[in-house]
Amino acid sequence: MSGFTISRRTMLTGSAMLLATTAMPTLGWAQTPKKGGRLVLAADSEPRNLNPAIVASNGVFFISSKIVETLAEASFDGKDGLAPRLALSWEGAADGLSATFKLRDGVKWHDGKPFTSADVAFSALQIWKPLQNLGRTVFKDLSAVDTPDDLTAVFKFAKPTPFQLIRNALPALSSVVPKHIYEVGKIEDNPANNAPIGTGPFKFGEYKAGQYYRLTKNTDYWGKDEPYLDEIIYQVLPDRTSAAAALEAEEIQLAAFSAVPLADLDRISKVPGLKVITKGYEGLTYQLVVEINHRRKELADVKVRQAIAHAIDKDFVVKTVFLGYAATATGPVPKNDPQFYTADVPTYAFDVAKANALLDEAGYRKGADGNRFSLKLLPAPYFNETKQFGDYLRQALAAVGIDAQLVNNDSAAHIKAVYTDHAFDLAVGPPVFRGDPAISTTILVQSGIPDGVPFSNQGGYKNDALDALITKASETLDTSARTDLYKEFQRQVAADLPLINVAEWSFISVASDKVGNIANNPRWAVSNWADTYLAG
């Protein structure tokens, strides 16, 4: 594995970067990895289905990515941002109708059977395409997977499919599970979904509900001398304050996925023996977005939406809600994306006077009580930050004469209210950017999506020109032409504001100084940890 590459890309600007540089001294000293040891870390949730081929989500990957591997993993310095895993090379045909993967030789499943192209074909056709939450979209046109030999898998598509999309989808969508385990019985009911069998550096050990997951070393792993750790234990700590306490008490050595709340980071960074790490999540960027219900006549007016954009002080949000651990956003693709991002889009500076003027222009003058109109505002409850931004947004809107009433729900109720019942005017949501706008970003503004689909355009927005652009991009095979179309997509979204992108953030890890090779790829927390080690 390559060494730790500090600031190869400037991912998140501002104080997040500052923090990364202060963390450098401890990280920069290369130590020879030590073998052995048990890594104990905090887990805040217990995914029931641990099969990452069916459930491609960070909660599942956090545990399963050590057991079940993908064809390729994200990388800071690899070609196209990828490093080989189960596939050694990949190539798309010029007509977009096929893609060829050369597979790694000598790889064994945890039960000793050899890994072959048949496993890849089975996983792709029987699981990714029909069952996987993200694969159902990306692999919808996959018609067959040919296996000319044990180490070659040729994906065939019914319609031309941009290889750039397939490539970008590999780290999250291409978990390969063993055919010989899954071909018997119903895939959804297979016991291996709760005790996965893979090719990864760690084997599934045991799961004690409410207590821990235990992964043990795969002594037959294909990586030379890997893995270094003997065991990984995920201790279930449901209370967010307890992860910090457990780190301080040296009961755990790592808390990933911001298990330590932002407000505690300043204090905990001063504890000797602990380090705060902001890198290693560049491929898991969350976007703070104001979702808009265009069925409300006021919000259907672009002037009103622009006024709302002007009313939001993005810098203030980054500083106070995220305590600096975020970046301001300009549009639907985050700044840290190396392929698609463009800064060349209409922007909306914080300007209350202008916001007021735009609202006046739109015909919504302030009434006697100082209000122009009232709105229902639903902040998503999944993160502290989305809730806090809801509070901020209410105040920001009050400053321009819009009376926003906060409606707080738990997760299930929020999902239903916004995406099925459309019982909102504004909502605060945290969609995820997954390395390619076609995976889960264009769906946020595209029209014609059935009711009830979460994290999609449920605000009734319909823009024929934008829909046409999205369709064209999805069919464009040439990588640079496709990239340009997505730059145009960003410009159109920023101009018409079907939703308002406010900020972009990712997670923070807190770890003991003893944990080595942390954050050495852009999806580190959900990668295989074959090279992670514990220094003496």
Partner 1 sequence: MTRALTLIRRRLVGSIFVLFIVIIGTFLLLEAAPGDAVDAYIVSTGGDAGMIELLRHRWGLDQSELTRLANYLWALLHLDLGQSVTFSRPIREVILERLPTTLILMVSATALSFGLGSALGIYAGARPGSFRDRFLSVASLALYAVPGFWLGLVLIVIFAVDLRWLPIGGIETLASDKTGLDRAADIAIHLILPVSALGFIYLALYLRMMRAGMAEAWRQDFVLAARARGLSRRRIVLAHVARNALLPLVTMLGLQSAQMLGGSVVIESVFAVPGLGRLAQEAVAARDTPLLLGIILTSAVLVILINLLVDIAYAFLDPRVGASEAGA
Which residues of this chain interact with partner 1, rule CB under 8 A? Answer: 40, 45, 47-49, 55-59, 131, 133-134, 136-137, 188-189, 194, 205-206, 208-212, 214, 231, 233, 235-239, 241-242, 245-246, 248-249, 251, 382, 409-417, 420-421, 440, 449-450, 452-455
> 152 is written with which tokens?
């070659």
Antiparallel, parallel or unpaired: β 285-292 and 142-149: unpaired
366 or 462: CB nearest partner 1: 462
Over 213-227, what HEC string results? EEEEECCCCCCCCCC
CB of 19 to partner 1, least distance (A): 23
CB of 80 to partner 1, least distance (A): 25
> 454 is written with which tokens?
């979460």
Sign of torsion, CA 414 417 418 420?
Answer: positive
CB of 56 to partner 1, least distance (A): 8
47 or 283: CB nearest partner 1: 47
7 or 133: CB nearest partner 1: 133
229 or 311: CB nearest partner 1: 229
Q: What CA–CA distance (Å, rounded) separates 277 from 294?
A: 40
- Tokens 């291996």 locate to 192
116 or 218: CB nearest partner 1: 218
CB of 55 to partner 1, least distance (A): 6
CB of 146 to partner 1, least distance (A): 26
CB of 442 to partner 1, least distance (A): 13
366 or 416: CB nearest partner 1: 416
Q: What CA–CA distance (Å, rounded) separates 232 from 1?
A: 20
CB of 462 to partner 1, least distance (A): 18
40 or 309: CB nearest partner 1: 40
Please answer whether residues 52 and 65 qualify as being in contact, where contact means their C-beta atoms are separated by less than 8 angstroms: yes
> How far is residue 245 from each of residues 256, 268, 270, 385, measured CA to CA in Å?
14, 10, 14, 21
Taking the CA atoms of residue 523, residue 526, residue 529 and residue 533 in that order, the dihedral angle to the nearest 10 degrees is 90
Number of Cβ within 10 Å of residue 384's Cβ equals 15
CB of 77 to partner 1, least distance (A): 30
- List own/partner pairs for 366-369 with CB under 8 A and 24 or more apart: 366/401
SS3 349: coil
40 or 404: CB nearest partner 1: 40
Find the DSSP H helices in 197-329: 240-248, 262-268, 302-311, 314-320
CA-nearest of 253, 283, 232, 258 to 66 is 232
136 or 295: CB nearest partner 1: 136
- Residue 98's H or E segment, with its range, is strand 98-103
Taking the CA atoms of residue 415, residue 420, residue 426 and residue 428 in that order, the dihedral angle to the nearest 10 degrees is 20
95 or 239: CB nearest partner 1: 239
> 156 is written with which tokens?
């065939």
CB of 251 to partner 1, least distance (A): 6
SS3 396: helix
CB of 427 to partner 1, least distance (A): 14
Q: What CA–CA distance (Å, rounded) separates 339 from 333?
A: 10
5 or 409: CB nearest partner 1: 409
CB of 242 to partner 1, least distance (A): 6
Please answer whether residues 217 and 201 qualify as being in contact, where contact means their C-beta atoms are separated by less than 8 angstroms: yes
